[in-house]
Structure 1
Amino acid sequence: MYADRLFNALERNEPAPGQLLVAAPGILAPQFSRSVVLVIEHNDMLTFGVDLSKRSEVALFNVLPEWLPVVSKPQALYIGGPLNQQSVVGLGMTKQGVNIDEHTQINRLAPRLVHVDLRSEPEEVAELVTGMRMFAGYAEWAPGQLDEEIERGDWFVAPALAQDVITPGGADLWADVMKRQPMPLPLYSTYPANLEDN
C-alpha cells in the first residue's frame, strides 16, 4: 500500500557506491524498518552496505579504544547489518581540501565520504577526516535480489551526504534523509516508527 503510493511518483535511481538505500514505510523486512543503508560496493556479484541508523549500547572504548580520538560522538559501535557482526566497517567524512585519491587509508564513496581502511594507524586517519563511525556487521544482497526489492517498493535510492555518516545521536537520520528528497517523500518524514504511537 505505502510502496505503491511512494514509488509510482518517483524517478528511480540505480544503486551504486555512495548511494543510500532508504527503507520505505511498511517495508516487508522488519529488521530494516527506518533503515538508511549506505552502499559501499555494488556489482554483478553482490551489493554490500552498512546501516547508518542503528546505534548499539556498546561503547567504542570497550572494543576499539585506539580509534576514540577519530570517532564522532556518540562514541558507540553502530550495527551495520545482520551479517558478520564480528567484522567492523569504518566510514568517515574527510576534512576540507583532502585529496582522497592521494591517500591509501581511505576510499572515496561520495564527495568527502570515505570507506576507511581499518588496517591503517588511527593517527594517520585523524589527519584526513573530521569524524568517523564504526559499524559492526553489514547487509548484503545476492545478484538480482536488491533489484527485486527496489521494484517491489521496499527501498528507494538517494545520494548520500558525508554528514549522514556522523549524524548526532539525537537525530532521526531516516526522517532527515526523507525531508531532503523530491516530493512526495518529505510527506513521509513524519511517518511514526510505531503506528500505535500515532
Structure 2
Amino acid sequence: MIPEGELRAGKLLVATPALADPNFADTVVLLLDVDDDGALGVILNRPSPVAVAEVLGQWSARVAEPEVLFRGGPVGTDAALAVALLRDPTDVPVGFRAVDGRLGLVDLDTPTELLDGSLEGLRIFAGYAGWAAGQLEAEVEEGSWYVVPGETVDVFGGDTSRLWRRVMRRQPGQLAWHSTRPADPDLN
C-alpha cells in the first residue's frame, strides 16, 4: 500500500531494475500532476541533440544548460512542456502555473519578456510520461519505481548523465545502496 500523499506533484519516480519498459530504463521522472484520473510527469535525464534555439528560438536564452530539448516521455512527443522555477514565490508572472512550491509550468505561448527576471530556471521537454487512473500506483506496488523527494538541482542541473545515481545516493538507508548497482547484475 502506498502511503497517502507519497505520489504527488514535485516527487520523483526513479526507475528500478524491475521496470521492464525500455522507455523508462534508468530514468528519473518528475511528477507534475497526480489526481484521481492518473498522473503526468517528465523524464529529467534524457537530453536530446536538438537545441532549443532550433525549435523555440525565443526561449533559448532562458533555458538552463544544456540548452537542448529534453525527451520528456513517450507521449505527445510533438508537443512541449516548460518546467520552471520562480525566483520569488510572491512574484508569479503571467503564464506560470504552480506545481509544487516555486516549481511550475510555463505556457510557451506567453511572451518571453513577461517572464524576465521572474524565473530562476527553465527546462523544456518534448513529450511527457502519463499514467491512467491506478496505473502508476500499480507500478509502484509491483516495484517498478522508487518514489523519492526531488530537489531543484534534479530538474535544472547541467549534467543529467549520472542523475539516477545521484538521486539514489542521497536516499536514506538501504535505498542508497542501489546507487552502486551494476547496469547488469548478472555480470557481477
Question: 1:156-193 CA deviation, whole Å, 9 max, x = no partner?
Answer: 11122222111113651111111121111211112244
The question of 1:87 aligning with 2:82 is answered: no
> Residues 65 and 144 from structure 1, CA distance in 2 versus in 1: closer, same or farther, beyond 3 angstroms?
same
> Taking structure 1 as reference, are residues 109 and 193 closer, same or farther at Cα in structure 2, changes over 3 Å only?
farther
Corresponding residue pairs, total: 188
Residues 98 and 128, structure 1, Cα contact 8 Å, conserved in 2: no
Using the aligned pairs only, state the percent identity: 36
Aligned to 2:21: 29
- Report what 2:144 is aligned to: 154
Using the TM superposition, give the Cα deviation of residue 194 of structure 1 relative to its aligned residue in structure 2, in angstroms: 5.2
The one of 111, 129, 135 aligned to 1:121: 111
Q: Distance in 1 between matches of 2:110 and 2:74?
A: 25
1:181 is aligned, of 142, 147, 171, to: 171
Determine the C-alpha separation between the residues in 1 that align with 2:25 and 2:42. Answer: 14
What SS does the aligned partner of 1:165 have? helix
| CA displacement, residues 60-94 of structure 1 (integer Å, 9 cap, x when unaligned) | 11111110111011111100000110110001222
Which residues in structure 2 correspond to 1:2-21 (within 5 Å)? Answer: 14-21=6-13
**1:197–1:172 CA distance, 2 compared to 1 (3 A):** farther
SS in 2 for 1:118: coil
When structure 1 is superposed on structure 2, of 12-21 and 151-160 the one drifting more is 12-21
Q: Does 1:55 align with 2:47?
A: yes
Query: Residues 121, 170 of structure 1: CA spacing in aligned structure 2 closer, same or farther, 3 A cutoff?
Result: same
Q: Distance in 2 between matches of 1:56 and 1:194?
A: 25
2-side partners of 1:170 and 1:141: how far apart?
24
**How far apart, in 1, do the equivalents of 2:187 and 2:112 lie?**
42
Q: Deviations over 1:44-65 (max 9, x none)?
A: 1121111111011111111111
Segment drifting more, 115-124 vs 65-74: 115-124
CA RMSD of aligned residues (A): 2.3
Question: Comparing 55-64 with 103-112, which one deviates more in the overlay?
Answer: 103-112
Q: How far apart, CA to CA, are the structure 2 residues paired with 1:196 and 1:71?
A: 40
How far apart, CA to CA, are the structure 1 residues paired with 2:4 and 2:182?
A: 24
**Unaligned 5+ runs, structure 2:** none
TM-score normalised according to structure 2 size: 0.89
- The normalised TM-score by structure 1 is 0.85
